[in-house]
Amino acid sequence: MTAVDPSTTPQDAGGDILAVAREQVLERGEGLSQEQVLAVLQLPTERLEEALGLAHEVRMRHCGPEVEVEGIVSLKTGGCPEDCHFCSQSGLFDSPVRAAWLDVDRLVEAAKQTAKTGATEFCIVAAVRGPDAKLMEQVRAGIAAIRAEVDINVACSLGMLTQEQVDELAAMGVHRYNHNLETARSHFPEVVTTHSWEERWETLQMVRAAGMEVCCGGIVGMGETLEQRAEFAVQLAELEPDEVPLNFLIPNPGTPFAHLEVPQGADALMTVAAFRLALPRTVLRFAGGRELTLGDLGAEQGMLGGVNAIIVGNYLTNLGRPAEQDLDMLETLKMPIKALNDTL
């Protein structure tokens, strides 16, 4: 998807969309509506810099200069019974990713490596529909071992939960729970058929009610229209998550989305700006796919365009940039890393 010709750009009824956003989002702190987000997404590429500049001002005004740094690790890789069409870990596709479990020692080591970067968050992820007794046991042992040795907030991403599991994770001290809605509700059936968007939404509500922070984002570039991208931004805003991780599709071999193109850099950056303008106070995190979609320069533009959090190092099955490279970038941009126990 590319930005359209300026002459065909629909203007918001209230005037130029960035002027409206300046008043509404920057000054009053009110996120954009679906139509307004769409108007931003439809801006011509020539206005990208302006959109990113405004998104950066919004982030600085409503979130501050700190950047939240996180590391993630896959506790259980591959063999998932679900069919999320982007995912190389589904056992239903002919993907080269094979099932693997991480032992507690390596999990603790990964948490230590993450903490060394200055990160305040460490997220334990499993490729499952939802946790079974074996996984819950492994998570319990892993969290206890991490807490004994590493000073870092522990987050989890273990799929859909029962109320009992939500309560158990909260009791273990899990600080934040990630469960991505992935895409707009109207596009979800094109992406996943083995469970519904609503089931995901339900888990998120239980997580919030149990007092854990809610982390919920998705993937840009899965064949959604710009309208659906705008729909997704406001659906996330409605959820009021503490954090939104933004991923850009990595077309993985063997998956139904293997044939899709890597999202274009300008398109991805306009999406970053639009999401910040829809979610003025949320932690907006650069997650997977930025290396292919944006490269080094684009990552900097995103950090100056509304993003205020990053995943450093590798992802679950993909590699990221070396953590030092991102930390150097933050230093160059004069963006301090959020300290443990600070809230953004």
Identify the burial level of 8 via C-beta atoms within 10 angstroms of its C-beta, where 0-12 means exposed, 13-18 middle and 19 or more buried: exposed
User: With binding defined as CB under 8 A, does residue 92 bind other proteins?
Assistant: no
**Which of ligand SF4, other proteins, none does residue 272 bind (CB under 5 to 8 Å by kind)?**
none
Of 67, 35, 47, 29, the residue nearest 270 (C-alpha): 47
Q: Give one DSSP letter per residue of 34-100, joined into a string.
A: HHHHHHHHTS-GGGHHHHHHHHHHHHHHHT-S-BEEEEEEEEEES-BSS--TT-TTBTTS--SPPPE
Q: What is the distance between the alpha carbons of residues 180 and 191, in angstroms, rounded to a whole number? A: 13
Work out how close the CB of 200 gets to ligand SF4 at its nearest, in angstroms, rounded to a whole number: 9
Which segment (32-40, 107-115, 175-183, 187-195) binds other proteins by CB under 8 A?
Answer: 107-115
Q: What is the distance between the alpha carbons of residues 16 and 185, in angstroms, rounded to a whole number? A: 28
Which residues are near ligand SF4 by CB under 6 A?
A: 80, 82, 84, 87, 89-90, 127, 129, 159
Which segment (48-56, 79-87, 139-147, 310-318) binds other proteins by CB under 8 A?
Answer: 310-318
**Which of other proteins, ligand SF4, none does residue 72 bind (CB under 5 to 8 Å by kind)?**
other proteins
Beta 153-157 vs 121-126: how paired, if at all?
parallel
**Which of ligand SF4, other proteins, none does residue 15 bind (CB under 5 to 8 Å by kind)?**
none
Residues involved in catalysis = 80, 84, 87, 123, 156, 215, 285
Do residues 217 and 227 touch, judged by C-beta distance below 8 A? no
Q: What is the distance between the alpha carbons of residues 82 and 127, in angstroms, rounded to a whole number? A: 9
**Which of other proteins, ligand SF4, none does residue 71 bind (CB under 5 to 8 Å by kind)?**
other proteins
Of 222, 308, 301, the residue nearest 260 (C-alpha): 222
Q: Which residues contribute to the annotated binding site for [2Fe-2S] cluster?
A: 123, 215, 285
**Which of other proteins, ligand SF4, none does residue 89 bind (CB under 5 to 8 Å by kind)?**
ligand SF4
User: With binding defined as CB under 8 A, does residue 319 bind other proteins?
Assistant: yes
Residue among 193, 196, 205, 318 that touches other proteins (CB under 8 A):
318
Distance between first and last Cα of the chain: 33
Which segment (90-98, 134-142, 195-203, 268-276) binds other proteins by CB under 8 A?
Answer: 90-98
User: With binding defined as CB under 8 A, does residue 77 bind other proteins?
Assistant: yes
Residue among 100, 141, 209, 333 that touches other proteins (CB under 8 A):
100
Host H or E run for residue 101: strand 100-101
Work out how close the CB of 121 gets to other proteins at its nearest, in angstroms, rounded to a whole number: 12
Neighbouring-strand partners of residue 309: 68, 285
Q: Which residues contribute to the annotated binding site for [4Fe-4S] cluster?
A: 80, 84, 87
Q: Which residues bind other proteins (CB under 8 A)?
A: 71-74, 77, 96-100, 102, 106, 109-110, 113-114, 250, 253, 289, 291-292, 312-323
